[in-house]
Structure 1
Amino acid sequence: MMLMKGLSRQILFAMSSMAVAAGLLVFFGTYFAFSILFYFSPWSEGTDNWLTGLDFIILSILIFIALIGAAVASIRLARRILEPLESLAQSARRIKDGDLSARAVPGDHSLGETALLVEDFNAMAQRLQDMAADMTLWNATIAHELRTPLTILKGRLQGMIDGVFEPDEKSLYALVLQVDSLARLVEDLRTVTLADSGHLDLRIQPVRLKDEIQRLAGVLEQELKEDGFELRLQLSDVLVSVDTMRIRQVLLALVTNARRYAIRGIIEISLSVENEMTILRVADEGPGLDSDIASSAFEPFRRGTQSGSLEKGGNGLGLSVVRAIVEAHRGKIRYAPSDKGGAMFEISLGRPVS
């Protein structure tokens, strides 16, 4: 309310002062102009051209009317200006106190700048509320993902201490797998967090990407063949500035995702230059992503609820890590159904090095 009182007083004083000044200027300006004309007129001899008492009375009445009009106009203008500002101030105080659902009322949209200010404030408040909700979801999901392997580790180790389980090679290997799961989750969270904050360390250098993909394919080919997959490469000889290790991580994640959730068949990796952009694609033969989550496939902790090639059995961070790495390269990634009805991930890595 102090905001409204202070601004109302200032607007009222400013408009009243302008009204009085304008009235005086018009009156005296008109008086002196007619005085000069009257002085040089042939019929002006012997007449008095100074202000009379009646003139002062008329001037006072005009100034009084101008003050009333200025006061009415200033009060109406102040109300139009201050209503959205007061709403904005109250909403800001509520957000400061922890109520992220507070929103300001734009009021009169004819005041363009004020309405835009309120709309920008509401958009900022909505984004802040979404970020808080996402953080709550992240914390709950991370706690859930960490709890399972930690519970298994604690139970197994306690069982070994109590003599329930023998610490043989098989049991120890199972514990190592749980530790690997924890380490992978922590590293994925670190990668996504660093990328979102713009602090993901990249070692960018010109790389002949075709050679790197062929090396990775040589490592994966035998295991894929044992699982019933055929790795097919269609690679152009392109020199592009990337972080080799991170791009290898992206390809490994996409191929592993297809290996786990696609039907047995061909996994194709293609590299080409289209519209002066380096395009990298990984495609499988199906069944592809669930239609209800395809649009949000790259969000953290998204899993498929039906059969599909999204990581419904993983920690839900694989594709978000891929997105984070690609965007850290100033590139783009998108999902689309492949020509054979499977999943196709297309990565744009910018212009090739000439």
Structure 2
Amino acid sequence: MDAPTGLSRQILVATSAITVLAGILVFFGTYLIYSVIVAVYPSPETDEWLTSLDLAIFAALVLVTLPIAAFVALRLARRILDPLESLARSARQIAAGDLSARAATSEKALGETASLVADFNRMAQRLQDMAADMALWNATIAHELRTPLTILKGRLQGIIDGVFEPDELTLRRLIHQVDGLSRLVEDLRTVTLADSGHLDLRIVPTRLARELEEIAELMAPDLNSGGFRLALDLDDIIVDADATRVRQAVLALISNARRHALRGTITISLKRRDGTVVLAISDQGPGIHPDLAGQVFEPFVRGDPDRAKETGGNGLGLSVVRAIMDAHGGSLRYRTAPGGGALFEMEFKSPVAPQGR
């Protein structure tokens, strides 16, 4: 016999024993008091303390109260134990690897028991979601790593076999693949650390306009060669932020625009808005499809998978930016720019230092 049935029996036995004990105590307690009264005020009509009629009455009361106690005990045990039995079965199934198991309850279950089952089911659902996310992450990471590793192995094997000459062009292509792997690993590291709450930031008063001007100066030649130009609209604002991480986020957004946007102007603006600071980066189209607009910040989601593969995107850029903004206590939003392009807004909610150089 399993544990829940034994517990039900224990509740039934305990309730019945308590009922009988209470009856005995009440019965004999009554007669104890009665005997004292008789001793103090004797009655000539009675000369026996406990008569056969009294015993018969007591036996009848016990026979009546025991079934009632058993019925009440069974109903109470069912209300308490049915959800707990379901919870115990589900816990054993989850321990065995079946994360889809859920505990069941009924409308008659006690409030605390029903709350316990609901909390358990939420925990089980979260475990299942985490396991599914982990499996997806593992499969996606393996897929992302497979292509550059296959290319590296093939090229290196070709050099060993004499198929490829180890000239400068071949080595540069190999380094390009290694750079792609390095970016993927660093992006994964950033997103993972942010999700676990361990992304370290060095928050200091930062003049964002100066940082953005340096980024624009650094990227302008490369962007110009690709048919893009940078336009800056910056207010001189000092924000408590990690300059290195902000640079990483801005570079990711600009790189994303270069891969997906039409050739034209990429605008970087920095403005105050309702007590916050908004760093916005926009392009001239075509923007993100409405069906994907709510998913673009999830890892490995690409707006245009074919073009992302051609340009070296790994689907983590926007996830990295969101992770950095979350670590700053800010937010990242997407909306369609007035000209129809993509507009990403990084909102810093940290205290803003006084303006001035």
Equivalent residues of 2:79, 2:108 under 8 A apart: no
1:289 & 1:307 partners in 2: Cα distance? 15
Distance 1:223 1:6, change over 3 A: same
1:110 & 1:242 partners in 2: Cα distance? 52
Residue of structure 2 in register with 1:10 after alignment = 10
1:170 & 1:94 partners in 2: Cα distance? 57
- Please tell me the residue identity of whatever aligns with 2:234: L
1:309 & 1:174 partners in 2: Cα distance? 18
Cα displacement string for residues 272-299 of structure 1 (whole angstroms, at most 9, x for unaligned residues): 3333333222222221122222212111
Residue of structure 1 in register with 2:290 after alignment = 291
Query: How far off is 1:270 after superposition?
Result: 2.5
Equivalent residues of 2:328, 2:350 under 8 A apart: no
Residue of structure 1 in register with 2:62 after alignment = 63
Q: TM-score, normalised by structure 1?
A: 0.86
Equivalent residues of 1:287, 1:309 under 8 A apart: no
- Please tell me the residue identity of whatever aligns with 2:229: E
Query: How far off is 1:22 after superposition?
Result: 5.5
2:60 & 2:311 partners in 1: Cα distance? 83
Distance 1:279 1:55, change over 3 A: farther
- Please tell me the residue identity of whatever aligns with 1:260: R
User: C-alpha root-mean-square deviation of aligned residues, in Å?
Assistant: 3.2
Residue of structure 2 in register with 1:89 after alignment = 88
Query: How far off is 1:220 after superposition?
Result: 2.2
- Please tell me the residue identity of whatever aligns with 1:345: F
| 3-state SS of paired residue (1:220) | helix
1:233 & 1:30 partners in 2: Cα distance? 96
- Please tell me the residue identity of whatever aligns with 1:252: L
2:251 & 2:65 partners in 1: Cα distance? 79
Residue of structure 2 in register with 1:282 after alignment = 281
Query: How far off is 1:173 after superposition?
Result: 0.9
| 3-state SS of paired residue (2:294) | helix
Cα displacement string for residues 122-168 of structure 1 (whole angstroms, at most 9, x for unaligned residues): 22222222222222222222222222112211222222222222222
Cα displacement string for residues 200-245 of structure 1 (whole angstroms, at most 9, x for unaligned residues): 2221212122222222222223433343333233333332221110
Query: How far off is 1:60 after superposition?
Result: 3.1
| 3-state SS of paired residue (1:273) | strand
Equivalent residues of 2:80, 2:110 under 8 A apart: yes
1:248 aligns with 2:271: no
Equivalent residues of 2:191, 2:320 under 8 A apart: yes
Gaps of 5+ in 1: none
Question: Which stretch of the first structure deviates more once superposed, 241-250 or 305-314?
Answer: 305-314
| 3-state SS of paired residue (2:97) | coil
Equivalent residues of 2:268, 2:282 under 8 A apart: yes
Residue of structure 2 in register with 1:183 after alignment = 182
Query: How far off is 1:174 after superposition?
Result: 0.9
Query: How far off is 1:175 after superposition?
Result: 1.1
Query: How far off is 1:346 after superposition?
Result: 2.1
Equivalent residues of 2:260, 2:304 under 8 A apart: no
| 3-state SS of paired residue (2:334) | strand
2:26 & 2:230 partners in 1: Cα distance? 89
Query: How far off is 1:69 after superposition?
Result: 0.7
Question: Which stretch of the first structure deviates more once superposed, 275-284 or 18-27?
Answer: 18-27
Residue of structure 1 in register with 2:193 after alignment = 194
1:151 & 1:160 partners in 2: Cα distance? 14
Distance 1:223 1:90, change over 3 A: same
Query: How far off is 1:30 after superposition?
Result: 7.9
- Please tell me the residue identity of whatever aligns with 1:15: T
Question: Which stretch of the first structure deviates more once superposed, 55-64 or 155-164?
Answer: 55-64
Question: Which stretch of the first structure deviates more once superposed, 96-105 or 308-317?
Answer: 308-317
Distance 1:146 1:308, change over 3 A: closer
Gaps of 5+ in 2: none
| 3-state SS of paired residue (2:10) | helix
Q: TM-score, normalised by structure 2?
A: 0.85
Equivalent residues of 1:287, 1:307 under 8 A apart: no
Residue of structure 2 in register with 1:134 after alignment = 133
2:310 & 2:291 partners in 1: Cα distance? 14
Residue of structure 1 in register with 2:119 after alignment = 120
Distance 1:137 1:306, change over 3 A: closer
Distance 1:348 1:275, change over 3 A: same
State how many pairs are aligned: 352
Percent identity of paired positions between Structure 1 and Structure 2: 59
